[in-house]
Amino acid sequence: MSIVAFTIFGVEVHWYGIMIALGIVFAVLLAFFVFKFRDLKTDYIFELLLWILPPAIIGARLYYLIFNGGPWGWDAFAIWKGGLAVYGSIIGGAVGVVLFCIVRKVNFLKVADAIVPSLALGQAFGRIGCCLGGCCYGIETTNPNLMHFPFSLNIDGTWHLATNLYESFFSFLICLVLVLMIRKIGLKGVIMGTYFVLYGVLRSVLESFRDPHEALFIGSVRVSLLLSILLAVAGATIIITQIILQNKKQKKRIS
């Protein structure tokens, strides 16, 4: 399958870009539902996009360039050729959310809780784009019973584990879990912490099966694996801390 969906006026439109665009659209639609349920102004959503998207794209590209060792120069701006990293976009987007909350004087944890379901949904679409774009796949498949779609992908005549599709499937599940939690859990920070834990664990497992040529390294250490572990630990810490603080508040009220 070609990575190019169609050509318009001589410009190639890639499947990856189409899936990213669809991910943004559905993420925004989901955000309208969640923001209303969390008593946040829906007007914030489009304003947040302006705060999130630019630093997310810059972060995704810088993360890739730094840990991939380039390309630098004018090629550093050629994002249409690929070379974006999920964790870089999360870090950049988080910076945008923090700045938005400071300017608007809105509680960061409340906003973050409302955003992460859309983040998971956007990642699910993005990984489908990776599949269609022929990147972020897993190690070579050695089991003949798994040498077929959707368990594996045929990359240049060799079957590889479809880790991009695995991540997409489980990201959809994470999104569903977070939406269900939104309806039942009001304690600020828990939804964000849960996303950190679930995605951190998911990515930690998948990184073990990812093709080394598709991974970024610091020496012999996979950068995404290290960050995934740190993300899961941070998420658990946030959840435990918020529960402890909530219990202390309740005890003060009782006393």
In a domain, 226, yes or no: yes
What pLDDT is stored for residue 1 in this prediction? 60
Residue-wise DSSP of 2-28: -SEEEEETTEEEEHHHHHHHHHHHHHH
Q: What one-character DSSP code corresponds to residue 141?
A: P
Contact 222, 72 (CB under 8 A): no
In a domain, 140, yes or no: no
Which pair of tokens denotes residue 23? 């991910």
Q: Where are the alpha helices (DSSP H) in 134-189?
A: 163-184
* Separation CA 232–CA 174 (nearest Å): 14
Q: Tell me the pLDDT tens digit for each residue of 141-163.
A: 999 999 999 999 999 899 999 99
pTM: 0.92
pLDDT-flagged residues of the chain (< 50): none
Domain that holds residue 130: 4-134+148-254
CA angle 75, 77, 82 (to 5 degrees): 80
In a domain, 81, yes or no: yes
In a domain, 118, yes or no: yes
Nearest to 56 by CA among 100, 104, 90: 90
In a domain, 139, yes or no: no
What pLDDT is stored for residue 255 in this prediction? 66
What pLDDT is stored for residue 80 in this prediction? 63
In a domain, 94, yes or no: yes
In a domain, 142, yes or no: no
Domain count, the chain: 1
**Torsional class of 12: left (φ above 0), alpha (ψ -120 to 50), beta (otherwise):** beta
In a domain, 126, yes or no: yes
